[in-house]
Structure formats: structure tokens, C-alpha cells
């Protein structure tokens, strides 16, 4: 049994019958992270990072079962591969508590399977509504919704280990959460820290925000952590690395604000913000699809104090 303690939390229960049946396998698009096998490493004693096959997944072992954060892409073979990798690292224990950092199918593809195995699946209260309009090119259907939702903060204690989930506002999406393990001073940030590539702002239907993306890093830095685990990438990062990443994001935003003040229109915004020197190429649909660029342009206009 686990004992969940909520602080500032508004809980909503979703019946397990709402969880979709396991979908048929569909190969991932070539070149996506789903083509990379699941690899694992121990970040702290009993805290394991699983890379490959989509976004990063994290598992914390406790005497009473496992706490998981995210669960990769929606394929039966990937779920089995992840489950085997977890068993090798953390022992053959069940996942009792599972957090989902946001709605994208490379992070929550196995939500339904984890719920069907009996775990409590915890996410932000915006997540169910976002999932009703979300469509993915890497999954045959949307991830299952959480069974427990919260507004600002949700605390769980399992086997003497406390995990605290926080939502501070929109950033990568409108339902981002970070999961903090205070005893080890480690935070699992999901794509709030998208450090393996460009900042990904799902601003169209996902409720994200470029300015909020920066602000969420500021919120992360208010936590007393020594290591942060990004949503992608092979390693945890230090507090100083997060600070440097925040500086790069601020420089990107500053270039965007300067561009809109010069009168740059949405069609030319990406070129005006081009930032190879910062390590950002601004490729992929979040930066090339006009439907995403237009609201980013509007957000920068607002930040610049222009109508």
C-alpha cells in the first residue's frame, strides 16, 4: 500500500474503465528517439534513468514498490523492453505510483498499460482536456489520461520515499509538471528542460509558452536540487548547467523581442531568431510550422510592450 499526502492539491479520479485497450504496434517514424534502444544508468542510489525509445523515464526504488516518472512511446515491445530494463535495475517490483510530466506520446505512451497494472497515474489537471485535442504522428492513439490530477502541488510517500510534483504554469506545454525527490535533491523536469535540442514550445493546442518556458526554469531553480533530469538526453545535469541553459533561453527570447520591435513579421521570425551560436537550430515543427510561429510572435510582441 502507498499513502498519498496532498498539499495544495485538487484531486480528480478517472475510472480505470476509461483507459484505452493496448493499441496495436506501429513502427516509429525513422530517425525519432524511438529507434534508440532503452539504456539505463543509476543517477543516485535506487534512482535510475532510462533513455531511448522516446523521452527519458525515471524510476525510484522503495521497499514498497516503484515510483516512475514518464514511460516512453506507445508500443507493446517498448513497454516490455522498458519493464525488463526496470526489473534488471530496480528489481522485480511493481510500479505503484507513476507521474506523467506532460501529454506528448513519447513520454506517456504506456500510460494505459501502467494504469492497467494497478499503478496510480498522476498528472496535472489540464492534462485530460489537452489529450482530447492532441494528435500524434508517433502513436496510433492518444495516451491514456491520469487517474489522479492536481492543480499546483501533489505529495506522495511510498516506502519512506517522498516525491513532490509541482505545476507552476505553462512552459513546454500547459500541463507540465516536475517531480522532486527531496531526500536525494534530484528533480525530474521532463521537457521543461529540453536540453538535447531546441526549446520545444507546444503553444498551439498544448497550451505552451515561450516566456513561460523561461519562467519554469526559474521555478525549477527555486528548488534545492543538485541534479536535474531533462526530458531527453543521456545524462542528468547540474544546477550550474541549468543556469547556463536558462541564460541561453533568455538570449533567444531577447533576440525575438528585438526582432518584433524592428517590425519582423511571423514568416521571418525564425530566421531573425536563428541562434546557432546558442546551440539552437530552430528546426522541427514547433519552429517551422506557421501555426506555431504566429502565437510565438504574438507572445513576443506582448513581451515587447507592443499591441
Per-residue model confidence as pLDDT tens digits over 245-289: 999 999 999 999 999 999 999 999 999 998 889 999 999 889 999
Question: Which single residue is written with the C-alpha cell 514518464?
Answer: 70
CA atoms within 13 A on the CB side of 193: 32
So what's the architecture of 3-239 in CATH? 4-Layer Sandwich (3.60)
Residue 227 bridge partners (DSSP): 186, 238
**Domain ranges across the chain:** 3-239
Strand ranges, E, within the chain: 3-5, 39-44, 47-51, 57-62, 65-69, 95-99, 120-124, 148-150, 153-158, 161-166, 178-181, 186-190, 227-230, 237-238
Which grid cell is 14? 478517472
Structural Rg of the chain based on CA atoms: 19
* Chain segment 169-203, per-residue pLDDT in tens: 999 999 999 999 999 999 999 999 999 889 999 99
Stated pTM of the model: 0.88
Calpha distance 302→296 (Å, rounded):
10
Amino acid at each position: 500500500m502507498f499513502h498519498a499526502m496532498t498539499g495544495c492539491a485538487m484531486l480528480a479520479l478517472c475510472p480505470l474503465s476509461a483507459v484505452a485497450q493496448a493499441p496495436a504496434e506501429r513502427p516509429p517514424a525513422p530517425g525519432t528517439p524511438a529507434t534508440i534502444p532503452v539504456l539505463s544508468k543509476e543517477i543516485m542510489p535506487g534512482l535510475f534513468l532510462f533513455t531511448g525509445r522516446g523521452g527519458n523515464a525515471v524510476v525510484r526504488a522503495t521497499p514498497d514498490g516503484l515510483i516512475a516518472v514518464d514511460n516512453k512511446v506507445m508500443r507493446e515491445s517498448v513497454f516490455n523492453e522498458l519493464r525488463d530494463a526496470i526489473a534488471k535495475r530496480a528489481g522485480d517490483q511493481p510500479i505503484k505510483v507513476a507521474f506523467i510530466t506532460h501529454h506528448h506520446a513519447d513520454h506517456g505512451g504506456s500510460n494505459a498499460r501502467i494504469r492497467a497494472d494497478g499503478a496510480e497515474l498522476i498528472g496535472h489537471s489540464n492534462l485530460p482536456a489537452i489529450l482530447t485535442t492532441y494528435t500524434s504522428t508517433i502513436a496510433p492513439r492518444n495516451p491514456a489520461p491520469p487517474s489522479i490530477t492536481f492543480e499546483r502541488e501533489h505529495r506522495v510517500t511510498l516506502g519512506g520515499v517522498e516525491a513532490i510534483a509541482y505545476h507552476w504554469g505553462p512552459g513546454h506545454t500547459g500541463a507540465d509538471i516536475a517531480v522532486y525527490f527531496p531526500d536525494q535533491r534530484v528533480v525530474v523536469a521532463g521537457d521543461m528542460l529540453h536540453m538535447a535540442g531546441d526549446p520545444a514550445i507546444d503553444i498551439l493546442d498544448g497550451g505552451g509558452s515561450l516566456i513561460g518556458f523561461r519562467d519554469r526554469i526559474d521555478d525549477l531553480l527555486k528548488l534545492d536540487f543538485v541534479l536535474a533530469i531533462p526530458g531527453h538526453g543521456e545524462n542528468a545535469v547540474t544546477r550550474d548547467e541549468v543556469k547556463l541553459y536558462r541564460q541561453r533561453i533568455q538570449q533567444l527570447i531577447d533576440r525575438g523581442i528585438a526582432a518584433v520591435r524592428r517590425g519582423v513579421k511571423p514568416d521571418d521570425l525564425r530566421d531573425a531568431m536563428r541562434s546557432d551560436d546558442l546551440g539552437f537550430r530552430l528546426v522541427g515543427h514547433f519552429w517551422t510550422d506557421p501555426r506555431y510561429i504566429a502565437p510565438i510572435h504574438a507572445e513576443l510582441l506582448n513581451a515587447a510592450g507592443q499591441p
